[in-house]
Structure 1
């Protein structure tokens, strides 16, 4: 569990640096395009790759720190134990099955991309589309790992709280 927690933290912090790089590259694209009438497809595509990496690799970090989007009309009013039970059920009934489904439906799509080492369809584009598509598999795997870690932590908290209440 410590490994998963450490992995999510390290990956989240590493990926956060990509947002700054993405801003610099996008600024460069705009300056080159409108200031000097120059453009490179590969530079524009690199912004897409950076954005995908930030989004897909950062999800487990966001889940670990409980900063994901939540419809919390009632959630904030509940006790911490009830919140933990809701999160446990949400992970077991919604998050993990959805991630497994994403892996299942996208595996052949990603494998086919790797089989041909798929590159950009644009002339001068990046030749790493297969790596970009791999994030479709990596993201749910990371989310499942973090969800399992969250389940252990929340289950132990509920168990400890109930044990205190029984005493």
Structure 2
């Protein structure tokens, strides 16, 4: 069980680092978008590659931080039953959700996007826009990263469930422990 806890800890650490690094792309997106707008309306000029850049940064950020969002439990969940449930009930719900929905869906994303990404790499695909950015094949690789990071974090959630259901709650890594204070802060009593 300690080995499983170690695996979950490593997965969470990787998603935490990637999430914190790629979250900074939000600032870059704002700066580039602001620059494009200023150039267009104040100087009557624009560069297609800059327009590509903020769209590509947006795509890279959202695909890279998806595992981090799952780590933080920031994905949308209908939690009218989940929130007030006991710890073991939550663990069972997470286990079923990961096994039945998350992992199969990530496998489908991976399986169907791999030929798409390989094709892009085979001819070093670039922007379809004249004067656009080169390297679209790199951005398309983020689809694979998305599937892998979400699946890995799903595995960490599955490990958390196994540890809880086996009575080894003390081994659950701190980064993925259920946090009742956060749930209460996000959903005050009486709020819908």
TM-score category of the 2 structures, normalised to the smaller one: over 0.9
Q: Is the 8 A contact 2:91 2:160 kept in 1?
A: no
Query: Which 4+ residue blocks in structure 1 deviate beyond 4 angstroms?
Result: none
Higher alpha-carbon deviation: 35-44 or 65-74:
65-74
Equivalent runs, 1:50-129 vs 2, <5 Å: 50-129=57-136
Aligned position for 1:135: 142
**Aligned position for 1:21:** 28
TM-score (norm 1): 0.92
| Secondary structure in structure 1 of the residue aligned to 2:127 | coil
Question: 1:165 — aligned with what?
Answer: none
Q: Would the aligned equivalents of 2:60 and 2:142 in 1 still touch at CA under 8 Å?
A: yes
Deviation of 1:154 (Å): 2.1
Cα deviation digits, residues 134-167 of structure 1 (max 9, x gap):
11111101111111112112210122179xxxxx
Q: Is the 8 A contact 1:60 1:146 kept in 2?
A: yes
How far off its partner does 1:74 sit?
A: 2.0
Q: TM-score, normalised by structure 2?
A: 0.81
- Aligned-residue Cα RMSD (Å) equals 1.4
Counterpart of 2:13 (choices 6, 9, 21) is: 6
- Which protein is richer in helix relative to its size? 1
**For residues 161 and 81 of structure 1, do their structure 2 counterparts lie closer, same or farther at Cα, with a shift above 3 Å needed?**
farther
Cα deviation 1:73-118 (Å, max 9, x = unaligned): 3221211221121011101100000000111111111111100100
Show structure 1 runs of 5+ residues with no match.
Answer: 163-167
- Paired residue total: 162
1:42 aligned residue: 49
Instruction: For residue 160 of structure 1, give the secondary structure of its aligned residue in structure 2.
Output: coil
Of 31, 37, 40, 1:33 maps to 40
